[in-house]
Structure 1
């Protein structure tokens, strides 16, 4: 590869690393073409790119972005799963695929700018999807309001019953 081509690849890696919400590094050694195609297909369904770059070019990009904590993960056959929407989606897919294939190995990741090891990727995979987390959060915010509304409703209902009883006593 000529020098201008290498510089273009380094620039591409930098742009993808900067714009991705999560980047998960995997060791794909031992996977055959069919398995890699199956993995790419399942990742593509979640708008995740699965790219293989030369480690030397990836290391240059990582250094330029000051993500040097990633360098130890850039040894041996390395592929990057780049998610630009949901940081959790590729983790779930890759962890499930690694369990199923028993070949794919998780190396590490950058999630929202934080470098994490393979164990954290597995923890990330256990989180519910982003939409579910937002729904849970919103439900938590709404719960006290529903409780307050119920309490206020009970007070007004109680007042109405008391006034009704007073009115019945006076008419009797």
Structure 2
């Protein structure tokens, strides 16, 4: 490959690394052209599958600041450049590898973080972005509906209580005034309540002292 061609290839790969939100390194030894075409079809819409030269890819990765593939660029290599849902791409790679064990997932990078092959498999077990967004939207709608109900319920209950109380008052009419009570008569004075200066019985006549007169 001419020097200018190498430079162009490195620049293209560097741009692909920079513009992708994730990348997965694979080895495709033994896969047929038909099988590789099938894999590309499965990834369409979320990623591109590019067969690469190891030396040029190593230079491009370093140029883009990607260190996840250091020491792994050996054998027939191809990189999945992800520009869509990384979870969907991981699912497609996992399912294809199950059907075609010759596809080997070596590792990857997601938003600048290196991923092992095992972590990519775990990524495939997650729900897709669309499913998560749908669940989030459903949870938010349910929360909003519940909040509206909780805010509206006390107001409606209070309104019904006020209406019932108003109807009860109108049916019974105004309350009648209370009847006056008879005055309480003061009790007659008892003998022991007589004034202290009331006249007492006259004392008995004194007995004449002395005996009969002698003649």
TM-based fold match above 0.5: yes
CA-atom RMSD in angstroms: 1.6
8 Å contact from structure 2 (residues 106, 117) kept in 1? yes
Deviation at 1:146, TM superposition (A): 2.5
Distance 2:2 2:22 in 1: 30
Structure with more helix by fraction: 1
Deviation at 1:4, TM superposition (A): 0.9
8 Å contact from structure 1 (residues 24, 90) kept in 2? no
Which runs of 4 or more aligned residues in structure 1 lie more than 4 Å from their structure 2 counterparts after TM superposition?
Answer: none
Distance 1:113 1:134 in 2: 23
8 Å contact from structure 1 (residues 87, 112) kept in 2? no
SS across alignment from 1:29? coil
28-37 or 138-147, which deviates more: 138-147
Gaps of 5+ in 1: none
Q: Say whether 1:13 aligns with 2:13.
A: yes
Aligned equivalent of 2:80: 81
Aligned equivalent of 1:59: 58
8 Å contact from structure 1 (residues 25, 80) kept in 2? yes
63-72 or 146-155, which deviates more: 63-72
Aligned length: 171
Distance 2:127 2:68 in 1: 27
Deviation at 1:148, TM superposition (A): 1.7
Distance 1:42 1:104 in 2: 14
Q: Deviations over 1:107-144 (max 9, x none)?
A: 11111221111111111112222122223333444443
Distance 1:41 1:87 in 2: 16
Distance 2:160 2:99 in 1: 64
Gaps of 5+ in 2: 172-215
